[in-house]
Structure 1
Amino acid sequence: MGIFSRMTDIINSNLNALLDQAEDPRKMIRLIIQEMEDTLVEVRSSSARVLADRKAVARRLEQAKAEVESWEQKATLAISKGREDLARAALQEKHVLEDEVALVAAELAATDEHITQLSHEIGQLQQKLSDARSRQQAMVMRTQTVESRIKVKRQMQREELETTFQRFEQFERRMDNLESQLGAMDMGRDVPPDLAAEIDALQNDERISGELDRLRQELQRRQASRD
């Protein structure tokens, strides 16, 4: 749930409590502002944790990249010593780490996006909190003037909500039917697990063979340049 969705729930809850319990409007507005202040503290704490997590993810990414380079060098050494079996094993380890690098890089990008969003929301919340404080008295007056309108709309919204849920259920049933049709169309099209595994193994072996050829060519170029 976003910050402002939460704030909307807080305000609606407090307004309902105001009507139900005949609370002092000024007291309720103070509670709303307090909720906003508490939310701001909470989000800032969350941001600090996310920033710390980002540093950890960045370190993992650098370490994984370093290990990829290390296995590349080990494969090159094995080729130079005529140990193709060791070179293949080293390249296999390198591929595993390359997959990890891709995953960690994606995690880092998502963390950066989260940090940007948090920063934006904190700025917005700070602005709204400042506005709420400066308009506190006006908000109390507005609360008093809209009490009767809220009471009237409660009944109207209850009827509208019932209609909305009926439409949602209709849409849900329609989606169930479509998913069932899609599932029926896909029946019998699965590739046998053994065949898929064999194809993956062939592709992986071809990839490693290609890298072995590249390493051999690099080694030959180095030896030629030294001669």
Structure 2
Amino acid sequence: MGLFSRIETVFKSKMNKLLNRMEDPRETLDYSYERQLELLQNVKKGVAEVASSKKRLQLQRVKLVQNTDKLEKQARDAVVADSDDLARLALERKAALAQQVEGIDLEIAELDQQQEKLVESEKRLSTKVEIFKTRKESIKAQYSAAEAHVKINESVTGISEEMADVGLALERAENKTEEMKARAEAIDELMEAGTLEDLTSGRDEIDRELSKISSQSNVESELARLKAEVGKDPEKVKTGEEGTDERKEV
């Protein structure tokens, strides 16, 4: 295949695809129905024209027959008047008119046949047009229903896709929220351990160390108290009791 042939094939395929997207079967069916009605109307016009032509020939035949009868009378009168020449002339004209009448009769017979054929064609075409019309409306209704179904399905599909996107967005938001919470907790732990310096607290390193020592002292005092209460350290228990007696004497 040559280059130009390939270009032509690609162009035709593209145009065919474009036309398929643009074509509405309902519009095509309506156009075809209108064309059939035009053809049917042309057939009806043909029948009317043939009928008119036949009618004109029939009227012409009537006149010729009338003239023939008149010439017959003239020839008879000429014979009565012993005018053979005049009688011959009248009879010759009568014979010529008779030939015209025969020709008109043949033409009328032909027009009769044409009219019968056209009438039959009109009947068949009318039947086909009516069948096509019924079929056309049925196809249009089915196409409209299918089109509506497709639009509904596309809408549902679009909603489903959108909901899927929303679900993914929610999942990402939840993941980011969990990450932020974990970072916040980690920073709190580091700040409590003194690894990170809280610049907003206004405390320097000495304050933090003193606070740490105070916290440890409090912890040791609480531990001694608990051991004294449960009797784990008799010496501290005794010291605690003496301190209590001294407070009572005071």
TM-score by length of 2: 0.45
**Structure with bigger gyration radius:** 2
Q: Name the structure, 1 or 2, with higher relative contact order (CA <8 Å, separation 6+).
A: 1
